[in-house]
Amino acid sequence: MQIRDLPYSDPGDPDVRSGPRFLYWLGRNQLGGQLKALGWGLLHQLGIAGFPVAVGFAVQAVIDRSGGRLALAGGMTVVLGVLLALGDTMLHRTAVTNWITAAARVQQLLARKTAELGSALTRRVAAGEVVAVSTGDVEKIGWFVEALSRFAAAATALVVVCVGLVLYLPSLGLLVALAMPVLALAVLPLLPPATRRADEQRDKAGKATELASDTVAGLRVLRGIGGEELFLGRYRRASQEVRRAAVRSARMWALISAVQVLLPGVLLISLVWYGAVLAREGRIEVGQLVTVYSAATLMLFPLRHFEEIAMAYSFSRPSAQRAVRVLSLRRSDREATVEGVAPVGDLYDPVTGLMAPRGQFTAVVCGDPDEAGRLAERLGGHAGAPEDAEPGNAGTARGPGAGEARESAGTAKDAARQPSVLLGGVALDEIPLDAARAAVLVQDKDPVLLSGTLRELLDVPSSGLVTADAALEAAQCGDVLSALAQASPDSDGDPMRTRITERGRSLSGGQRQRLALARSLVTDPQALVLDEPTSAVDSHTEARVAAGIAKLRRGRTTVAFASSPLLLDAADRVVLVHEGSVVAVGGHRDLLRTEPRYRAVVTRETDEEAAAAHPVGDAVEIPAMKSIQEIEERA
């Protein structure tokens, strides 16, 4: 894989059982690049290791006054220089290629997972965590993958040089061969505390990033209530904690670097002292001493790769674990098993009992806004896997009782599973994701407008039956179009060519909400789920938007989560969900008269007001019902 071939047509199916397994999967998928880097690394390292032989040969030739051998040594030096330059250049090229392609693969996997989960991703993982994984963690993972082949080449070169020195001059070569493992492994005891400090720094940096994102996103509101300095002060304190954690981490890595300098220095001093004694006694030649000393000195260069690979793994392992945490999230517990099916029919949630008949406008009232958000997500086919299970924990039980533990864990996981929402009797999580999203579109309560022109905003996959003008009219975007027309770059004031800033920050909250609604209406899905689509508009506009939705979506299944009487009155039917179950179905006006819980949510009626208006003797009893059909018959 070359950089020019990016992006991958298919980044693959990663091993997300644990961070180390994910790193191994990445390395295995780059086996060709790793072998190339290993080959060029061996050429580079052995070229370095060959210089001491040429230098020692040249020194001994001078001592013996042999011009022929001196010329041969010069020729050897030139050849080694060419090989060294070639190996170094190609090693850098292949190593950087491995780094970039590994990082690109991880980023593609994260992007694919983000597109798969949609808004459900930030409900399971903090937004700052996702940003940190897709930026800093990706870089650290790529660093380890890139350093792996260079480390393998350095380790191979050290073994070859040590064996060669032992065969060439056993008296000094044995000293070097025994010292090298000590030098390579001396820093291992320091790695765990260094890793813990690095993890602490990264966690604090992630929290600071999330705080900064929240502050920037809410800057307009913060300024309006005078809370700007309060949140900036919080970010300053968080950034100072990051700085202190970074200093603590740097101290530990500085200690590791100091050990890597001190111990090789001790080896070189001992080698020179012992070699000088042997040369003075005539047991070795001066050229041999120079050769061994030069080899030992140059071996310190590949030793640096041991420190680098230790640092790279210490940083990349938790980064890989965090990436695995995101990549292991699934749309649901079940795999898609139904191919080539475009389900048509009623939208039904077996968990709550919510039924949205085909072709009708159904409004859903929930007393808990969070419950409404979760139910809207479920209607989009995101039944969700158990979120308390950590990736990589499966199958780790050992010892007596491990079988019972695994069986209990499996039972708990089965209990945590929830049946999928059905569309026309077909489970949404059993059909491919693309087909499920084409059939059911969910617009959450805080939709995002991407930067670009209005025409680009409305240029989305659609049935083609709803035009942009019709959708904008239904969403009551007339004032938005007028404002955009004034800012249009065209002389005729075409609002469709006006650029909308990132997340629509140049627009008011109501304008953003109506444009997002128009975008959803343009897609014209078979079933459209709207979570509080009119919460940011005034009552007059809200009534017109409700009528526009009902008119444009006539004959299509529409579900709107809301508590506004204006929108509820425009719906064909209204469903009340209380404590996770449907408890009443009917028209808005009928439910106001017959259902106290519905009336309390819609009219914001307090318990005291309800008791005063409806004495206990006059209270309307709503018997428990077991099915939607019974509720509808009674309504």
Read off the tokens for 552: 């444009």
Residue with tokens 């690394």: 41
The candidate with the shortest Cα–Cα distance to 280, out of 268, 270, 289, is 289
pLDDT of residue 347: 93
Give per-residue pLDDT as tens, 416-447.
457 788 888 888 878 877 788 888 999 888 78
Of the two residues 409 and 259, the one the predictor is more confident about is 259
Give per-residue pLDDT as tens, 71-82.
888 888 888 888
Least confident span in 42-56, 482-496, 590-604, 615-629: 615-629
pLDDT of residue 490: 73
Q: 10-327 and 423-634: same fold?
A: no
Residue with tokens 């990033």: 209
Give per-residue pLDDT as tens, 459-499.
988 888 999 999 999 999 988 888 888 877 776 778 888 88
Confidence of residue 530 (pLDDT cuts 50, 70, 90): very high
pLDDT of residue 609: 56
Q: Report the alpha-carbon distance of residue 267 to residue 273 in Å, rounded.
A: 10
CATH class of 10-327: mainly alpha
* Alpha-carbon torsion, ordered 19, 20, 25, 27, to 10 deg: 120
Q: Report the alpha-carbon distance of residue 442 to residue 544 in Å, rounded.
A: 21
- SS3 label, residue 467: coil
pLDDT of residue 276: 85
pLDDT of residue 581: 92
pLDDT of residue 181: 83
φ, ψ of residue 423 to 5 degrees: the values are -120, 110
The beta-carbon contacts of 488-495 under 8 Å, at least 24 apart in sequence, are 495/454
Confidence of residue 612 (pLDDT cuts 50, 70, 90): low
Confidence of residue 215 (pLDDT cuts 50, 70, 90): low
Judged by phi (left if over 0) then psi (alpha if -120 to 50, else beta), residue 580 lies in left
Confidence of residue 586 (pLDDT cuts 50, 70, 90): very high
Q: Report the alpha-carbon distance of residue 434 to residue 180 in Å, rounded.
A: 56
Confidence of residue 629 (pLDDT cuts 50, 70, 90): very low
Of the two residues 354 and 7, the one the predictor is more confident about is 354
The fold for domain 423-634 equals Rossmann fold (3.40.50)
Of the two residues 567 and 431, the one the predictor is more confident about is 567
Burial of 322 (0-12, 13-18, 19+ CB in 10 A): buried
Q: Report the alpha-carbon distance of residue 559 to residue 563 in Å, rounded.
A: 13
Burial of 509 (0-12, 13-18, 19+ CB in 10 A): middle
pLDDT of residue 403: 39
pLDDT of residue 616: 46
Mean pLDDT of 223-232: 65
Q: Where are the domains of the chain?
A: 10-327, 423-634
pLDDT of residue 463: 84
Q: Taking 60 as the threshold, does the pLDDT of residue 595 lie above it? A: yes
Give per-residue pLDDT as tens, 91-122.
888 888 888 888 889 989 988 888 877 766 77
DSSP 19-85: HHHHHHHHHHHTHHHHHHHHHHHHHHHHHHHHHHHHHHHHHHHHHTT-HHHHHHHHHHHHHHHHHHH
pLDDT of residue 618: 46
pLDDT of residue 362: 96
Give per-residue pLDDT as tens, 295-327.
777 777 777 888 788 778 877 888 888 889 888
- SS3 label, residue 468: helix
pLDDT of residue 608: 58
Buried b (16+ CB within 10 A) or exposed e, 428-448: bbbbebebbbbbbbbbbbbbe
Burial of 387 (0-12, 13-18, 19+ CB in 10 A): exposed
Query: How remote is the C-alpha of 588 from its chain's centroid?
Result: 43
Q: Report the alpha-carbon distance of residue 504 to residue 515 in Å, rounded.
A: 9
Mean pLDDT of 206-210: 73
The HSE-up count of residue 104 (CA atoms within 13 Å, CB side) is 18
Amino acid at 169: L
pLDDT of residue 274: 86
* Percentage of the chain modeled with pLDDT above 70: 83
Confidence of residue 615 (pLDDT cuts 50, 70, 90): low
Confidence of residue 413 (pLDDT cuts 50, 70, 90): very low
The candidate with the shortest Cα–Cα distance to 351, out of 318, 379, 313, 310, is 379
How many residues appear in the chain? Answer: 635
φ, ψ of residue 461 to 5 degrees: the values are -55, 130
pLDDT of residue 619: 42
Q: What is the mean pLDDT of the chain?
A: 80
Q: Taking 60 as the threshold, does the pLDDT of residue 631 lie above it? A: no
Burial of 545 (0-12, 13-18, 19+ CB in 10 A): buried
Q: The dihedral of CA 140, 141, 142, 143: what is its sign?
A: positive
Give per-residue pLDDT as tens, 363-392.
999 988 888 888 888 888 765 444 433 334
pLDDT of residue 483: 85
pLDDT of residue 575: 95
Q: Taking 50 as the threshold, does the pLDDT of residue 634 lie above it? A: no
Confirm if 322 and 23 have CB atoms less than 8 A apart.
Answer: no
pLDDT of residue 344: 85
Burial of 533 (0-12, 13-18, 19+ CB in 10 A): buried
Confidence of residue 543 (pLDDT cuts 50, 70, 90): very high
N-term to C-term CA, the chain: 64
pLDDT of residue 622: 37
Of the two residues 40 and 410, the one the predictor is more confident about is 40
Q: Taking 90 as the threshold, does the pLDDT of residue 357 lie above it? A: yes
* Percentage of the chain modeled with pLDDT above 90: 18
